[in-house]
Amino acid sequence: MPRESSKRPKFKRSHGPRRRIFIALSVPKETKEEIARVTQNLQKKNFPVVWQDPEKAHITLIFLGHIAQERFEAAVSAVKKVAELQSPFELSTGQLDYFYSSTENSDSVILVGIQDPDRTLRNLYKELRNALGEEEFSPPTRLHPHITIGRLKKQKDRKHQTEMLLSLVEEPVEGKTITVKSIGVMESIPDRGATIAGETTKTRNRLLNDIPLRKNG
């Protein structure tokens, strides 16, 4: 008898509704409170920064983009496979840093760094990449774990932009432990009421699936 092919059929393009989906780790109350304190101090500088709500703080792992329902279900299935083989682990917050963008009309990101001394998060990310790759997603090769706290609007004067960023990241951050017990699959929804120059500047996030890490020991 002919052998069945183990190769997955490629997904057909769907014409149904799509959602903006990403995979992330939640952070505890203590971390959010520290981010709120830091943000409050930085706001006193009155720089053109769109600050994130500390209650929405999270660590983004993989942005999947606007995907249809069947692709969403495939992503959830992939994450569950990885979570079954992963034990809970700990991370910690580092200091402030930034991603500078020289691209036209792109904001620079102000962030709290994430420390992963045992490389557990990076190994988890590798497993997620492999599992999602089997479902025909293409996550980035490298991970830069962080918590976004604000976005500095693009400035015409690059020197001035850099000076503002350097001033912002001088604020000290008290290190907090983050115990990772689950992986979240989330939806990003534009907040139409928050705009600058007609552009949406904020989003609200909705947790669709909170997938526990199940490996014992």
Alpha-carbon distance 46 to 116, whole Å? 32
Q: 67 pairs with which residues across the strands?
A: 19
Q: Are 161 and 154 in contact (CB under 8 A)?
A: yes
The answer, yes or no, to whether residue 154 has pLDDT greater than 70, is: yes
The answer, yes or no, to whether residue 49 has pLDDT greater than 60, is: yes
Q: Which residue has the higher pLDDT, 214 or 180?
A: 180
The answer, yes or no, to whether residue 213 has pLDDT greater than 80, is: yes
The band of 152, judged by pLDDT with boundaries at 50, 70 and 90, is very high
Residue 41: φ, ψ to 5°: -65, -40
Q: Which residues carry out catalysis?
A: 58, 146
- Residue 8: the pLDDT is 52
CA-to-CA separations, 90 to 32, 72, 149, 175, 178, in angstroms, rounded:
16, 28, 21, 13, 6
Three-state DSSP state, 102: coil
- 3-state per-residue secondary structure call for 138-174: CCCCCCCCEEEEEEECCCCCHHHHHHHHHHHCCCCCC
Q: Is 19-212 a CATH 3.40.50.620 domain? A: no
Q: Are 110 and 48 in contact (CB under 8 A)?
A: no
pLDDT 10s digits, 109-135 = 999 999 999 999 999 999 999 999 999
- Residue 5: the pLDDT is 43
Alpha-carbon distance 23 to 128, whole Å? 10
Alpha-carbon distance 130 to 136, whole Å? 10
Pairing between β-strand 108-115 and β-strand 49-51 as defined by DSSP bridges: unpaired
- Residue 105: the pLDDT is 64
| Domain ranges within the chain, ordered by starting residue | 19-212
The answer, yes or no, to whether residue 64 has pLDDT greater than 80, is: yes
H or E segment to which residue 104 belongs: none
- Residue 92: the pLDDT is 98
Three-state DSSP state, 23: strand
The answer, yes or no, to whether residue 65 has pLDDT greater than 90, is: yes
Alpha-carbon distance 50 to 104, whole Å? 17
Comparing CA positions, the residue from 128, 155, 140 lying closest to residue 65 is 140
